[in-house]
Chains A and B, each alone.
Chain A
Amino acid sequence: MKLLNIAWRNVFRHTRRTLITAAAISVGLSSMIFMNTMMNGADKMASRNIIDFETGHLEVFAKDYYREEGVFPLDTIIDNPISITGNIEGIPGIKGITPRAKFQASISNGVDELPVLGMGVDIEKDTEVFEVANSVVEGTYLQQEGDLVIGTNLAEDMDLGVGSFITIITKDRNGTYNAYDLTVSGIINTGHPLFDRNMAIIPIGQAQTLLAIGEGITEVCIRANDEDNLAPLKEKISEVIGNEYEVFTWKEMNAAIFEISGFKRAGQFMIGLVVVIIAAVGIINTMLMAVMERIPEIGTLKAMGFKNSGIVRMFIYEGGIIGAFGSALGCLVGLLISAYLVHVGLDFSSVFENMDIVYPMKFIIKGEIDYVNLIYVFVFGIVVSVLVSLWPVRKATKLEPVDALRHV
């Protein structure tokens, strides 16, 4: 029989007290896991939306085009795309490559006018990089010049359906206003608010005419085979495109979003920490009671020659066992909640419906479980339990055996 064994028995001396303490720990830890799952899910959804609709894995711009998010200048565009796309296509590890021409515009249904982001796409090639064509929920994707694809929310806002006529108005490269009449061929539902609310997608040829940019495009979008290892690909692309152009990964272009998500993570970690601190107070209380009610036993053990270190170890094992129970329970509950989040998700859409959203996702958040984090949380729970046990246990070590034995 070892000290651990004695500690184990002692833990179950007061089963209810142990369970309540463990439950408090588990609430703290499961909320940490829950938050982590939500954040991972939100980040993953945001990442997927950015990659699958907005940027692909990498984008090439003319030098100085990419100044900041939401600005679409026409003075620094790729005037001669063939000269660089040809070079890029030869690089191994690229799955697809497509040009896009983005521009600020507004659309009018004859009654209302709304500002939108216009986007000219290569009807065939765009599908090699993006999922836009697969997100059509009504009508068809772009078939020919004169077609327009818009998102569900924009269609709703403008009261448009498949076959509706609209006018798109924009300033061309020379500062002249141009307008075209277009027919809505399809309505998309991407889950990316920018695409569902603000995007007017037209064939690239039409965009080029509208903007008077000749063969020009604003960006070349690239999908890689291995999305987790973009740095070497970026380097190769940057070698072949030369100094007049520059290439960015999707992460670089969305650094702000992940910065926000970093803050949120920190915030949520703090919330979790507060809950864990409350649980820790529970452990301290439980361990303090355990020490106090067992002072004569501590005296007996000391009389038998146990040193303080042995007694401390016994109580620390006890704290650790309670912590392990709480951690295991917390991880289990956290995992169950996470499983629900992964399969069903949480619907925040009613909360965020009328808000301007910078986060590129819809507010039905599906979770994503991080199993490494789960292990961290488990260990964290035990470590915290052991550390906070030290303080009450110190009381036991300060007792002289004779005083401990006399204690009633």
Chain B
Amino acid sequence: MIKTIDLYKDYRIGKVLFPALRGIDMQIEDGEFTAIAGPSGSGKTTLLNIIGCLDVPTKGKVLIDGTDINELSAKGKAELRKTRIGFVFQTFNLIPVLTAYENVEIPLILLNLEPENKKEMIVTMLEEVGLGDFINRRPNEMSGGQQQRVAIARALVKEPSMVLADEPTANLDSTTAKEILALMQELNGKHKTTFIFSTHDQLVMEYSRRTVNLRDGRIVEDKTKTRGK
């Protein structure tokens, strides 16, 4: 369970103080499939980064399963990211010199697994995202949708408790975006991994069960559908 308590974040750009988050209180249960929506500049990415231990709040707390992440050292945060959090980025962020297989392998390098187990985990994961035939392709030999599938496989392969996806479909055409969303929804159902997205894409919101709307760093709406699409 993720809980944010009165979360504030200010950015200083030159002499101007820019408030990105102004008091976010929310709770996300395990296994949720939640969209953080809002126009650009509303604080979506900032919120995701703070939950993902990539950024620190100016004020307030984030509790992940009861642990206050502010109290973790840089190493402790790295440890948390290593084991419990998977990231999916708008620009995919695959390592261009590595194949799909090797990109998915990267998070596992840190986990000291048996080579045999590792191989099976990677291949299974790539098959789950529909890239069973593409394991030896490099990013520049794949379409955007395929690259994002690799990124999703990379985020999920270590079986994290949550996947944070920052605008995962923003660089994809709508057909591909739908496929990716359907895939994430499927994986959410199957692995019971919490998925949190940021998006300003109506399509993503349609797919999510819960949509938290942000505007100017505040939650303006938080609605949960009884059933996802």
On A, residues with C-beta under 8 Å from B are 1-3, 6, 9-10, 12-13, 296-297, 299-307, 310, 400-402, 405
Contacts and interface: CB of A to CB of B under 8 A. Distances in A.
For the side of the interface on B, what is the size category? 20 to 34
A301 B87 CA distance: 10
Contacts of B81: 302-305
Given A9-B97, A307-B78, A2 B109 contact: yes
B222 to A, nearest CB: 25
A262 B89 CA distance: 61
Which applies to chain A's interface (DSSP): helix, strand, loop or mixed? helix
A387 B117 CA distance: 37
B49 A402 contact: yes
Interface string B164-198: 00000000000000000000000000000000000
Interface in B94-133: 95-98, 102, 105-107, 109-110
Nearest to B111: A305
Interface string B149-169: 000001000000000000000
B30 interface: no
B102 A405 contact: no
Nearest to B79: A305
Contacts of A307: 75, 78
B54 interface: yes
Contacts of B221: none
A400 B198 CA distance: 21
A304 B98 contact: no
27 contacts: A1-B102, A1-B105, A2-B109, A6-B97, A6-B102, A6-B106, A13-B97, A296-B91, A300-B87, A301-B106, A303-B52, A303-B81, A304-B81, A304-B87, A304-B106, A304-B154, A305-B78, A305-B79, A305-B81, A305-B85, A305-B110, A306-B78, A307-B78, A400-B54, A402-B49, A402-B55, A405-B93
B82 interface: yes
Contacts of A306: 78, 82, 110
Given A6-B98, A296-B93, A307-B75, 6 more contacts: A1-B105, A303-B52, A303-B54, A305-B79, A306-B78, A405-B89
